[in-house]
């Protein structure tokens, strides 16, 4: 069973960039799809991006397409979420989650292991 730890969150101004990292422990990382989800105050947790256990396909929410890029480095047990052109509406706690042999689904119930989250705040 993998365990996940997110990092890289912070406070930035609109238009700036951040790179989130999801570091996994355990040898089974390479057999798990990893998804990124976010939850803003008072809102439901929502899908952001996901990458298949094989590295493809990758999927994005419409709200982040063209601005966010997900990638994985199995040698380092890390999945990155590169976020560019950040907007105030991107402010949320960002979580990564693992889905064994997953194909990068947007369905949260498929993900059985979750990290603790990292805060991203976009404000001028």
pLDDT in tens, 60-114: 999 999 999 999 999 999 999 999 999 999 999 999 999 999 999 999 999 999 9
Q: How far apart are CA 12 and CA 68, in angstroms?
A: 15
SS3 36: strand
Strand partners, 109: none
pLDDT bucket at 28, cuts 50 / 70 / 90: confident
* pLDDT tens digits along 39-55: 999 999 999 999 999 99
Distances (CA, A) of 105 to 17, 22, 36, 48, 114: 25, 17, 10, 10, 15
Q: How far apart are CA 106 and CA 56, in angstroms?
A: 14
């Amino acid at each position: 069973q993998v365990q996940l730890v997110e990092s890289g969150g912070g406070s930035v101004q609109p238009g700036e960039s951040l790179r989130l990292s999801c570091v996994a422990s355990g040898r089974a990382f390479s057999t798990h799809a990893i998804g990124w989800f976010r939850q803003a105050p008072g809102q439901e947790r929502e899908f952001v991006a996901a990458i298949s256990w094989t590295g493809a396909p990758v999927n994005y929410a419409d709200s982040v397409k063209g601005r966010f890029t997900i990638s994985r480095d199995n040698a380092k047990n890390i999945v990155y979420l590169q976020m560019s052109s950040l907007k105030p509406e991107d402010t949320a706690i960002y979580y990564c989650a693992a889905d064994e042999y997953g194909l990068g689904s947007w369905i949260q119930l498929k993900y059985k292991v979750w990290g603790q989250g990292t805060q991203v705040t976009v404000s001028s």
